[in-house]
Amino acid sequence: MRERAARGCRGAVVAVQRRGCHVAIDYGTLLILSRPDVPLAPNALTIAAGPADSLERRGVCVGQLVALDAIAPGDHDVDWVVTLREAATWEPRPPIHPLGSRELAARLRTIRATVVADGAEASLLPLLWSCGAADGGLQSAIVRLAAAPARLLGAAAIRGDVAALSRAARGLAGLGPGLTPSGDDLLAGFVASWTLVGEALGRDLSTRERVTAAVVAGGERGASPLGHAWLEHARCGELLEPMTRFVADLLAEEPGVAAMAARGVLAVGSSSGTDWMVGFLLAAKAMLDATPWGPPW
């Protein structure tokens, strides 16, 4: 994103929240401009704004034009200019170390217990221990709708069944309310896990890429704009800041404090972090279930 800005690009504001806004650039690529108190995302820039500043109150609104450049451009036909003269960078792809299946399974048992204990109640969390049956209510209906495609997702990924993967992703994309619906978050977690955990386990790169490409393609039509952006980044192993810290700890050479970092993931959004973690764990479980010695939990 910084390289694009250095070359100069423009976009239009398509959504505004209290702590950030979304800008569509480069034929629909979604860029987030956020305050410093918002966790970084792979498609985000943090802008100079006080912690109490509302972007709406500062005059940012949908339809305005934004220019990004290494220096302020000379023309004045845009509403806002974002320059990168003093910008710092960060790495959204966590470092990965090779791990054996048994070691990874042991680490994941602790993470699963943390997610089950501390995850958001109104989320897809029941998919970790049931087929989606739950008491009445809107959220339970979403869990039931997600159960079958979530099961298919893992089974199809193990088989390398591209058609079934796309069908499963279509059943999850856009499922649920919110800026990033629960189904989008689950898919992003699944793709991130298949990319990064798969690398740690030594799974074939071309096979991993075929699986993740099928999931992203299947979810393309139904996913929200932000959900689609995060799916594309997850294919490259690029994650939100809390997810990057978690995966780096989980897949470190020596066991660390991944459970603490997992709680940071769970704190993302009202349920986004939990739903992302559900997808991440479902993918990791599918990979480990395929090992000769059986499931991790």
Give pLDDT tens digits for 102-126: 999 999 999 999 999 999 999 999 9
Among 20, 51, 83, which residue terminates a domain? 83
CB contact at 8 A, 115 and 144: no
230 and 109 within one domain: yes
110 and 7 within one domain: no
Residues 160, 32: Cα–Cα separation, whole Å: 34
Residues 66, 162: Cα–Cα separation, whole Å: 39
Question: Domain for residue 297, yes or no?
Answer: no
Amino acid at 51: P
Quote the DSSP letter at residue 150. Answer: H
Residues 138, 233: Cα–Cα separation, whole Å: 30
More confident residue, 94 or 28: 94
- What was the pLDDT predicted at 127? 95
Rounded to the nearest angstrom, the gap between the alpha carbon of residue 53 and the centroid of all alpha carbons in its chain is: 26
183 and 270 within one domain: yes
106 and 8 within one domain: no
Residues 152, 155: Cα–Cα separation, whole Å: 5
75 and 135 within one domain: no
Q: What is the pTM of this model?
A: 0.86
173 and 121 within one domain: yes
From residue 92, how far is each of 41, 126, 196, 237, 248 by CA, in Å? Answer: 7, 29, 12, 8, 10
- What was the pLDDT predicted at 193? 98
| Average pLDDT score over the chain | 87
Reported as a pLDDT band with limits 50, 70 and 90, residue 71 is: low
- What was the pLDDT predicted at 93? 94
Mean pLDDT of 8-23: 83
108 and 58 within one domain: no
Question: Domain for residue 92, yes or no?
Answer: no
Question: Domain for residue 276, yes or no?
Answer: yes
User: Is residue 2 predicted with pLDDT exceeding 60?
Assistant: no
234 backbone dihedrals φ, ψ, rounded to 5°? -60, -35
Look at the chain and report how many structural domains it folds into.
2
The parent domain of residue 195 ranges over 101-289
119 and 79 within one domain: no
Question: Domain for residue 51, yes or no?
Answer: yes
257 and 133 within one domain: yes
Residue with tokens 């997808």: 279
Question: Domain for residue 143, yes or no?
Answer: yes
54 and 132 within one domain: no
Rounded to the nearest angstrom, the gap between the alpha carbon of residue 229 and the centroid of all alpha carbons in its chain is: 9
Domain with residue 54: its CATH number is 2.40.50
Amino acid at 31: L
User: Is residue 292 predicted with pLDDT exceeding 80?
Assistant: no
Residue with tokens 């959900």: 227
- What was the pLDDT predicted at 6? 47
106 and 36 within one domain: no
Residue with tokens 């070359």: 7
User: Is residue 133 predicted with pLDDT exceeding 60?
Assistant: no
What are the tokens at 31? 């860029």
CB contact at 8 A, 240 and 268: yes
More confident residue, 20 or 74: 20
Rounded to the nearest angstrom, the gap between the alpha carbon of residue 297 and the centroid of all alpha carbons in its chain is: 24
Question: Domain for residue 296, yes or no?
Answer: no
- What was the pLDDT predicted at 130? 67
Among 83, 114, 148, which residue terminates a domain? 83
Reported as a pLDDT band with limits 50, 70 and 90, residue 132 is: very low
Among 50, 83, 116, which residue terminates a domain? 83
More confident residue, 253 or 58: 253
Quote the DSSP letter at residue 34. Answer: E
216 and 183 within one domain: yes
Overall residue count recorded for the chain in this entry: 297
Question: Domain for residue 172, yes or no?
Answer: yes
Reported as a pLDDT band with limits 50, 70 and 90, residue 88 is: confident
With H, G, I as helix, E, B as strand and everything else as coil, classify residue 232: helix
- Tens digits of per-residue pLDDT, 191-210? 999 999 999 999 999 999 99
> Which of 34-43, 109-118, 279-288 shows the lowest per-residue confidence on average (mean pLDDT)?
34-43
User: Is residue 131 predicted with pLDDT exceeding 60?
Assistant: no
- What was the pLDDT predicted at 137? 53
Question: Domain for residue 169, yes or no?
Answer: yes
CB contact at 8 A, 264 and 113: no
Quote the DSSP letter at residue 40. Answer: P
User: Is residue 136 predicted with pLDDT exceeding 60?
Assistant: no
- Tens digits of per-residue pLDDT, 202-251? 999 999 999 999 999 999 999 998 899 999 999 999 999 999 999 999 99
